[in-house]
Amino acid sequence: MDTLNVLIIEDSESDADLVIRQLKKAGYTIHYDRIETAEEMNTELDMLAWDIIISDYKLPQFNASVALTLLQKTGLDIPFIVVSGTIGEETAVELMKAGAHDYLMKDNLARLAPAVKRELDEAHGRRERKQAEKALRKSEERYRTLSEVARDMIYIVSRNDIVEYVNTSAADLFHKRAEEIIGITRASLFSVEISNGQKRSLQNVFESGISSYVESKAEHMGQVTWLGTWLVPLRDDTSQITAVMGVSRDITNQKRLEEDKQKLLNNLQEALAQVKTLSGLLPICSVCKRIRDDNGYWEQVEGYIQKHTDATFTHGVCPECFLKMYPDFDPTKLKATDE
């Protein structure tokens, strides 16, 4: 078993030896000091980390009540057991109320080792809980510090729709201080339409226990803000979901860019719908050059092209056709005239 540092408050060396023998019999390796005065106790508490204190009730210059008070003033969590041959039941009860962990009669030391083990185990449990609480407080302080400086909006909403926490960024959205929002209902911060949408998203997380991402609108004083939000369930020690934490980011600019992009795509689609193209085989008469349309009708080339494209026609005469139409035309005379 572990080595025990035992501080014994006892004026009888033989009685102290009886206590030590009982503990060694239980398998403990013992390091101990025996003291008889308050001054010695203060010195010993400063010198060593004691595992347990075993005190007689009454000594010539000292007693268990004073020793217990001295211990409590130090703030040390050391089990304090009273072992006495003269203590009465009423006195023992008063000592227990004052903070002693147990009391034994000197003629019943068989209970000593079990009592020591129990108190050591409980002291160990208390130290672990304190360390866990300290770590939790440190974690909470760190979380709150990070939360307060975060640009993201962080809040916690309970099952009954009460805002339990908001960071500064979230409070700024409503132009309020955090303490003005904590404790009020979430629904009171939004319009009915927006609030109902948020309620459905929160209810889904409460019921499913699964985190989700939603995009929603927040409106305050006529200003609309788009928020992208992760909703995360928070559980108690029994794994019951008691609240939902939301971490929201302002995505208003992103939504506007998406809207502008969609408008551009719509405009392009409309423009493309207006573009007419020709493809495939076109039946054309080898003599009159008319084209047969999809319904089997023959029409002039320019009419067909105008129907199926955005092209328009202007008319002119090519040189070959000009000569056919005007065979007597002499271009040399035109040049002579020009000169």
Say which CATH number the domain at 161 has. Answer: 3.30.450.20
The answer to whether residues 124 and 159 belong to one domain is no
Q: Is residue 322 part of a domain?
A: yes
**In percent, how much of the chain has pLDDT > 70?**
87
- Range with lowest mean pLDDT among 21-35, 205-219, 233-247, 286-300: 286-300
**Residue 229 and residue 170 share a domain:** yes
- What CATH number does the domain containing 49 carry? 3.40.50.2300
Whether the predicted pLDDT of 338 surpasses 50 = no
- Can you tell me the mean pLDDT for 252-265? 82
What is the SS3 string spanning the chain? Answer: CCEEEEEEECCCHHHHHHHHHHHHHCCCEEEEEEECCHHHHHHHHHHCCCCEEEECCECCCCEHHHHHHHHHHHCCCCCEEEEECCCCHHHHHHHHHHCCCEEEEHHHHHHHHHHHHHHHHHHHHHHHHHHHHHHHHHHHHHHHHHHHHCCCEEEEEECCCEEEEECHHHHHHCCCCHHHHCCCEHHHHCCHHHHHHHHHHHHHHHHHCCCEEEEEEEEECCEEEEEEEEEEEEECCCCCEEEEEEEEEECHHHHHHHHHHHHHHHHHHHHHHHCCCCCCCCCECCCCCCEECCCCCEECHHHHHHHHCCCCCCCCCCHHHHHHHCCCCCHHHHHHHHC
Report, as an integer, the average pLDDT of 18-32: 91
Residue 337's pLDDT band (cuts 50, 70, 90)? very low
| Average pLDDT of every residue of the chain | 83
When pLDDT is averaged across residues 121-140 and rounded to a whole number, the result is 78
pTM as predicted: 0.46
Indicate whether 121 and 7 sit together in one domain. yes
Max mean pLDDT range (12-16, 90-94, 215-219): 12-16
Residue pair 18/45 in contact (Cβ under 8 Å)? The answer is no
Task: Tell me: do 203 and 234 sit in the same domain.
Answer: yes
Domain-located, residue 137:
no
Same domain, 171 and 231: yes
Classify residue 8: in a domain, yes or no: yes
As a whole number, mean pLDDT of residues 278-286 equals 72
Average pLDDT on 233-257 reads: 88
Is residue 142 pLDDT above 70, yes or no?
no
Task: Decide which of 96, 129, 162 is a domain's last residue.
Answer: 129
| Residue 283: inside a domain | no
Which is more confident, 270 or 27?
27
Which residue did the predictor score with more confidence, 148 or 269?
A: 269
Q: What confidence category does residue 274 fall into, taking pLDDT thresholds of 50, 70 and 90?
A: low
Could you tell me if residue 324 is inside a domain?
yes
Domain that includes residue 302, residue range: 291-338
Confidence of residue 152 (pLDDT cuts 50, 70, 90): confident
Same domain, 246 and 306: no
Domain end among 211, 234, 255: 255
261 located within any domain: no
* 88-104 average pLDDT score: 86
Q: Note whether residue 61 is domain-resident.
A: yes
Q: Please indicate, yes or no, if residue 267 is contained in any of the structural domains.
A: no
Residues 7 and 125 in one domain: yes
Residue 38 has pLDDT above 90, yes or no: yes
- The count of domains in the chain is 3
> Is pLDDT larger for residue 23 or for residue 270?
23
- Lowest-confidence segment of 172-176, 185-189, 229-233, 306-310 by average pLDDT: 306-310
Q: What is the mean pLDDT of residues 87-105?
A: 86
Torsion angle of C-alpha atoms 113, 114, 115, 118, degrees rounded to 10: 120
- pLDDT of residue 143 exceeding 80, the answer is no
Q: Is the pLDDT of residue 144 over 60?
A: yes
129 or 149, which is more confident?
129
163 and 84, same domain (yes or no): no
| pLDDT confidence of residue 128 | 82
Averaged over 241-249, what is the pLDDT?
91
Q: What is the pLDDT of residue 303?
A: 75
Across residues 135-150, what is the average pLDDT? 62
What is the pLDDT at residue 33? 93
Q: Within this chain, do residues 63 and 108 fall inside the same structural domain, yes or no?
A: yes
